């Protein structure tokens, strides 16, 4: 009796595993066959997150440079503010943005709610504090003399700034990758202000949530693979890059 | 020592047997029956009369049927006739019965850009929305409401939809809120509409048509497919819900003074009262 029921349990488990296998095979087929829905979702995800990081990074670099290299009132307060904002949950940013952009909100007549522009704004807000905080600690650890020497040698400030950034490239790139990692996998804010509209605001995380709730695991797994491979590749790339930096130093 | 071990073993056996006997019936159903509060009113009465406890898994119709296919539920209450028929025809479900019905309504912005209000048939209204390319929010999540909407568009003969048709893959409440924000049309069940209408500036623009009927069915999961299906308990729930007592309870259920569900298993008994 006991062995009978355990055999049945085993059989059932095997059936489940088989189901997952089938879904995974279907997932690869979806990816390889160039299923247009899936690739649309993937390209939207990248489009939105890359735009957000491209807009946020230059501003964040300049801000963090000023915070590290110049003395001005409220400097310390600003630094702690950015450090604090790093931990604001995505759903809170989503909620705030929703209320601002809603038709009954102060920015309602811009008509941005449930568009990819709103998603980009949300992701900029999400990654900006992280970029500033990480870049700031890079700038702070930098040798001040590099900057001062460049200036005394007659370099224009922006020229010196680029030289300094080149010296710090490993830390700064790690900051950008961490920022990108935070927003590409983010779901709370995208779901709230994007609305998960097919072919318009549906990105990888919101699509995975939806496919799972529909019980269609193949699509979910396919998108999960893309997200996972991307995150692993990014992190591996950065650590290899940084490793090379250490050797040269 | 030996006797105490034996005693302990017997105790374990006893506990597991009684635990098994009281194992709750697993009911997979749509969010509309759960969120409206109907089940919270019906199920305690059922448990009181039969001693059968019920665990409710509230999901969309598509997911509910999927859960039942996997043998993770004993009985389902759903609203998508076509999907129900397939579910039974494929051998996953047995003994389907009609339980109750309510209806869908077509809602939209008060200024009604597609001019669908008035004495239009539902199909005419949908044709107008498509022709004027007015924004329409679709659930897009394989729920009963989404299946209904899909069937209606097919009736109208519109298969390819442009950017005006926004498939959002989210629940009914969210769809209504988005329709409100985007001044769009959407199809909703009346229960969710009543729960949300105070927060919205949308209006009912088409209702009452035969195509907007929303019948709910109850189906027992085929006990031959999975070993641990609680078939007898499932049949007791089906029997109770379709009995005069169960049907009366459905008939008397009101939310904010509005009747949400109309019994259909034995209509005559109810109406002759």
CATH code at A75?
1.10.3720.10
Q: How far is it, in rounded angstroms, from Cα B41 to Cα B44?
A: 6
CATH code at B109?
3.40.190.10
Total residue count of chain B as it appears in this document: 273
B246 and B258 inside one domain? yes
Boundary residue ending a domain (B212, B232, B258): B212
Mutation target vs A (from B70, B150, B169, B172; most A CBs, 10 A cutoff): B169
Q: Is residue A227 domain-resident?
A: yes
Q: Is residue A22 domain-resident?
A: no
A242, A172 contact by CB (below 8 A): no
For B111, list phi and psi in degrees, rounded to 5. Answer: -80, -10
Tokens of B1: 């020592």
B115 and B208 inside one domain? yes
Q: Which domain holds residue B169?
A: 103-212
A101, A192 contact by CB (below 8 A): no
Residue of chain A nearest B137, judged by CA positions: A197
Boundary residue ending a domain (B197, B212, B227): B212
Q: How far is it, in rounded angstroms, from Cα B219 to Cα B217?
A: 7
B237, B52 contact by CB (below 8 A): yes
Q: How far is it, in rounded angstroms, from Cα A98 to Cα A93?
A: 8
For B81, list phi and psi in degrees, rounded to 5. Answer: -55, -45
Q: Is residue B193 domain-resident?
A: yes
Q: CB distance A198–B140 less than 8 Å? A: yes
Place of tokens 């300049």: A62
Q: 58-87 in B: which are within 8 Å (CB) of A? A: 59-60, 62-63, 66-67
Total residue count of chain A as it appears in this document: 249
Tokens of A103: 């038709």
B94 and B138 inside one domain? no
B201 and B217 inside one domain? no
Q: CB distance B181–A114 less than 8 Å? A: yes
Nearest to A91 by CA among A204, A191, A195: A191
ipTM of this complex prediction, to 2 decimal places: 0.70
| Shortest Cα–Cα distance, B263 to chain A (Å) | 29
Nearest to A197 by CA among B145, B138, B202, B158: B138
Q: Which of B59, B169, B181 is nearest residue A210 as measured by Cβ atoms? A: B169
A95, A179 contact by CB (below 8 A): no
pLDDT in tens, chain A (249 residues): 455 667 776 776 666 677 778 878 888 888 888 778 888 999 999 999 999 999 999 999 999 999 999 889 999 999 999 999 988 999 999 999 999 999 888 998 898 999 999 999 999 999 999 999 999 999 998 888 888 888 888 888 888 899 899 989 989 999 999 999 999 999 999 999 999 998 889 999 999 988 877 777 788 888 999 899 988 888 888 888 777 665 544
Q: Is residue A24 domain-resident?
A: no
> Going by C-beta distance under 8 Å and a sequence separation of 6 or more, which residues neighbour residue A5?
none
Q: What is the number of domains present in chain B?
A: 2
Nearest to B268 by CA among B237, B247, B241: B247
Q: Is residue B17 domain-resident?
A: no
Q: What is the number of domains present in chain A?
A: 1
B181 and B230 inside one domain? no
Tokens of A126: 């999400």
pLDDT tens for each residue of B40-92: 999 999 999 999 999 998 888 888 998 899 888 999 999 988 899 999 999 99
Q: For the whole model, what pTM was predicted?
A: 0.74
| Shortest Cα–Cα distance, B169 to chain A (Å) | 6
> Going by C-beta distance under 8 Å and a sequence separation of 6 or more, which residues neighbour residue B177?
B196, B199, B200
Q: Which domain holds residue A236?
A: 36-248
Q: CB distance A197–B170 less than 8 Å? A: no
Q: Is residue B232 domain-resident?
A: yes
A42, A226 contact by CB (below 8 A): yes
């Amino acid at each position: 009796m006991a062995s009978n029921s355990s055999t049945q349990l085993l059989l059932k488990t095997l059936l489940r595993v088989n189901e997952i296998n089938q879904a995974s095979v279907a997932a690869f087929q979806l990816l390889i066959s160039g299923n247009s829905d899936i690739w649309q979702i993937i390209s939207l995800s990248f489009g939105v997150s890359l735009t957000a990081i491209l807009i946020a990074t230059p501003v964040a670099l300049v801000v963090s440079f000023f915070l590290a290299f110049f003395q001005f009132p409220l400097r310390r307060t600003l630094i702690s503010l950015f450090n604090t904002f790093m931990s604001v949950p995505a759903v809170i940013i989503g909620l705030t943005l929703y209320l601002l952009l809603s038709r009954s909100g102060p920015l309602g007549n811009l008509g941005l709610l449930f568009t990819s522009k709103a998603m980009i704004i949300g992701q900029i807000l999400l990654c900006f504090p992280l970029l500033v905080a990480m870049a700031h600690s890079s700038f702070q650890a930098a040798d001040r003399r590099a900057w001062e020497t460049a200036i005394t040698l007659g370099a224009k400030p922006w020229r010196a700034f680029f030289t300094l950034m080149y010296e710090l490239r490993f830390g700064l790139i790690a900051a950008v990758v961490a920022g990108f990692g935070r927003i590409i996998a983010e779901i709370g804010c995208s779901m709230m202000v994007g609305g998960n509209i097919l072919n318009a605001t549906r990105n990888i995380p919101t699509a995975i949530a939806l496919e799972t709730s529909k019980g269609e695991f193949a699509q979910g797994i396919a998108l999960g693979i893309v997200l996972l491979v991307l995150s692993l590749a990014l992190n591996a790339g950065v650590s290899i890059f940084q490793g090379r930096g250490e050797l040269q130093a | 020592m030996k006797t105490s071990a034996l005693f302990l073993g017997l105790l374990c056996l006893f506990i597991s047997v009684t635990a098994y006997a009281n194992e709750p019936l697993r009911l997979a159903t749509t969010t509309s029956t759960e969120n409206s509060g109907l089940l919270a009113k019906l199920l305690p009465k059922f448990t009181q009369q039969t001693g059968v406890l019920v665990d409710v898994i509230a999901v969309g119709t598509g997911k509910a049927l999927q859960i039942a296919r996997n043998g993770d539920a004993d009985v389902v209450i759903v609203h998508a006739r076509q999907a129900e028929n397939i579910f039974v025809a494929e051998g996953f479900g047995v003994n389907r019965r009609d339980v109750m019905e309510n209806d869908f309504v077509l809602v939209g912005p008060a200024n009604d850009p597609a001019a669908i209000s008035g004495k239009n048939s539902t199909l005419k209204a949908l044709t107008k929305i498509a022709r004027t390319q007015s924004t329409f929010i679709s659930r897009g999540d394989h729920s009963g409401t989404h299946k209904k909407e899909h069937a209606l568009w097919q009736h109208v003969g519109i298969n390819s939809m442009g950017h005006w048709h926004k498939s959002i893959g989210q629940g009914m409440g969210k769809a209504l809120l988005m329709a409100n924000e985007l001044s769009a049309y959407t199809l909703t069940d009346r229960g969710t509409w009543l729960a949300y209408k105070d927060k919205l500036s949308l209006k009912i623009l088409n209702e009452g048509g035969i195509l907007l009927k929303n019948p709910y069915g109850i189906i027992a999961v085929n006990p031959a497919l999975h070993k641990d299906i609680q078939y007898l308990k499932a049949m007791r729930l089906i029997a109770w819900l379709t009995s005069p007592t169960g049907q009366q309870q459905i008939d008397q259920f009101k939310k904010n003074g509005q009747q949400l569900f109309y019994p259909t298993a034995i209509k005559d008994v109810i109406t002759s009262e």
